[in-house]
């Protein structure tokens, strides 16, 4: 259905929320092509800027308190998942809730296309995982909610996934680079 009531502004980044006393009345945005700032006024403002898993500082700031922070963290999420909406909301007085409810992967592999800063998701269902001491430490087929904390508690928050040649075909790598703008979530070295 076309109503002509939706306008898209491309290459335009929201930089702050506009307030009138206790109401949010719009968004100040910057046109990236020429740097011009534009105010968009609206009765209702919806923040749909995604998550923050590509922002290492925010991931660290809101890391679950009951889990150790890994020595090395690979970034993920969309390339623009940097929490800019959260930052704008906070600056406008919002209280952020449940920020430690992060989805992180225990199956991360450095993405060689991005200076090893971001993670690919790499996994074989027929692999066993061993830590630096060569010991298994978790049932690898369990849910990420179990395997992720288990990996974090290993020395160096790292492990080796071991499989034989018969299982090579089951090893898959998913996620992508910033160019494709979808990649795995923040994770640790596998
Ligand atoms: C590794 C990984 C795997 C996933 N796999 C799945 C899956 O298999 N199935 C599934 O359903 N979900 C999956 N998800 C979750 C899914 O990708 C997200 O939940 C979903 O993309 C969130 O949608 P969104 O519209 O809130 O944010 P996004 O898709 O991130 O969209 C936000 C948009 O806002 C733009 N933006 C950000 N800041 C600004 C700003 N300041 N001004 C203007 N624009 C801005 C961004 O460029 C982006 O286009 C996965 C997530 C991750 C991290």
* Digit-coded pLDDT (tens) for 113-123: 877 789 999 99
User: How sure is the predictor about 177, in pLDDT bands with cuts at 50, 70 and 90?
Assistant: low
Please choose, from the candidates 106, 116, 166, the residue with its C-alpha nearest in 3D space to the C-alpha of residue 142: 106
User: How sure is the predictor about 112, in pLDDT bands with cuts at 50, 70 and 90?
Assistant: confident
Q: Is the CB of 132 under 6 A from ligand 1?
A: no
Mutate which of 47, 74, 76, 80 for ligand 1? The one with the most ligand atoms within 8 Å of its CB, which is 80
pTM: 0.86
Whole-angstrom distance, CA of residue 39 vs CA of residue 189: 43
Average pLDDT of the chain to the nearest whole number: 90
Count of CA atoms in the C-beta half-sphere (13 A) of 44: 2
Q: Is the CB of 149 under 6 A from ligand 1?
A: no
Report yes or no: 14 and 49 within 8 Å, Cβ to Cβ: yes
Q: Is the CB of 59 under 6 A from ligand 1?
A: no
139-174 per-position pLDDT tens digit: 999 999 999 999 999 999 999 999 999 999 999 998
Name residue, tokens 């790499």. Answer: 122
DSSP one-letter string for 152-186: HTSGGG--EEE--GGGGGG-EEE---TTTT--PPS
């Amino acid at each position: 259905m076309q109503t002509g009531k939706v306008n898209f502004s491309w290459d335009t980044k929201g930089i702050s929320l506009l307030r009138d006393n206790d109401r949010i009345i719009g968004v100040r945005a910057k046109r990236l092509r020429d740097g011009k700032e534009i105010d968009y006024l609206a009765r209702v403002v919806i923040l749909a800027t995604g998550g923050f898993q590509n922002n290492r500082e925010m991931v660290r700031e809101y890391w679950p308190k009951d889990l150790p922070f890994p020595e090395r963290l690979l970034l993920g999420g969309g390339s623009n998942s940097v929490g800019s909406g959260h930052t704008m909301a906070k600056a406008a007085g919002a209280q952020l809730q449940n920020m430690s409810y992060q989805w992180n992967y225990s199956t991360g592999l450095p993405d060689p296309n991005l200076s090893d800063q971001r993670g690919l998701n790499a996994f074989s269902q027929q692999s066993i995982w061993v830590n630096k001491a060569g010991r298994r430490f978790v049932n690898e087929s369990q849910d990420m909610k179990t395997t992720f904390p288990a990996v974090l508690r290993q020395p160096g928050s790292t492990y080796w996934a071991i499989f034989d040649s018969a299982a090579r075909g089951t090893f898959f790598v998913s996620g992508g680079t910033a160019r494709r703008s979808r990649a795995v979530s923040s994770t640790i070295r596998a």
